[in-house]
Amino acid sequence: MDYRDRVSKAVRHFWKVRTQQQKKQGSVTGRKDTGYRSAVTGGKHLDGFIKLLAELLSEAGLPDSTIHTASTTLPGYFRPTKNWDLVAVIDGQLLASIEFKAHIGPSFGNNFNNRVEEALGNSTDLLTAYREGKFKPSQKPWLGWLMLLEETPKSLSPVKVDESHFEVFPEFKEASYARRYELFCERLMRERLYDSTCLILSDKTGGLKGRFTEPNPEFSFTAFATSLSAHAMAYARLRKK
């Protein structure tokens, strides 16, 4: 299926909300957060993507009452609980859990490492809890991770790495942050930490018009949505037997 128009709508929503939040932040107190934090602290900027994935789960045959975007707390293994962005719980089973992230400049270095650590930790925590039987009688839940990265010269330019004691893997040398995210998405799936990942690039000017790019078809929204929909559809059909 062609999801481009629906993704464009979510991209427009993202940039529109961020722009509005930057303008409104501090309108009551008279103090604004510095830099891009004014948009981050407002939240809701990824709601367009959350709504889109919820719609796709419904279209795949899941009852709306089983698709949760507000009450999304799940048990962990290394910590008591974790709030995911979207979960599908049906017949007492955890069917799917999805995390949505955005990375907007001007700082990419430390924030990239934070995003990586979060994604690795969240998956490891949930999958270990699953292995230990916390979600019985669930089969292995479908896990997804979606990243919207700001497309700027800073995110697209080569970045040097610190090799004080040992050389890094060659593919990381002179790799931009966009390329690093691409490698990360690939390895999350190769290591089976997530069933599907999605990497979308967009800049503010084009994003307000719904424009975006996808650097790798393996991590496109279509591939992501198709995998999720197939998983949900299979369970929905199984329920009818």
pLDDT per residue over 152-181, tens digit each?
999 999 999 999 999 999 999 999 999 999
Mean pLDDT across 53-70: 96
CB contact at 8 A, 119 and 181: no
The mean of the pLDDT values for the chain is: 91
Cα(212)–Cα(206) distance, rounded to whole angstroms?
Answer: 7
The answer, yes or no, to whether residue 33 has pLDDT greater than 50, is no
Residue type, 12: R
Residue 78's CB is within 10 A of a number of other CB atoms, namely 11
Nearest Cα neighbor of 143 from 198, 181, 106, 214 is: 198
The answer, yes or no, to whether residue 25 has pLDDT greater than 70, is no
Which residues neighbour 238 within 8 Å (Cβ) at sequence distance 6 or greater?
A: none
At 185, list the tokens.
Answer: 């998405």
29 class by beta-carbon count within 10 Å (0-12 exposed, 13-18 middle, 19+ buried):
exposed
SS3 content of the chain, % helix, strand, coil (to 5): 45, 15, 35
Q: What is the pLDDT of residue 185?
A: 98
For residue 2, name the pLDDT band (cuts at 50, 70, 90): confident
Domain interval for residue 208: 4-240
Cα(193)–Cα(184) distance, rounded to whole angstroms?
Answer: 11
Residue located via tokens 């599907």: 196
The answer, yes or no, to whether residue 5 has pLDDT greater than 80, is yes
Q: What is the pLDDT of residue 108?
A: 86
SS3 62: coil
pTM, entire model: 0.89
Helix (H) / strand (E) element for 125: namely helix 109-131
Q: What is the pLDDT of residue 14?
A: 97
225 class by beta-carbon count within 10 Å (0-12 exposed, 13-18 middle, 19+ buried):
buried
Cα(139)–Cα(121) distance, rounded to whole angstroms?
Answer: 21
Ranges assigned E (strand) in the chain: 67-68, 73-75, 81-83, 86-90, 93-103, 142-150, 196-202
Residue 205's CB is within 10 A of a number of other CB atoms, namely 10
Domain count, the chain: 1
For residue 39, name the pLDDT band (cuts at 50, 70, 90): very low
For residue 37, name the pLDDT band (cuts at 50, 70, 90): very low
Q: What are phi and psi of 99, to 5 degrees?
A: -115, 135
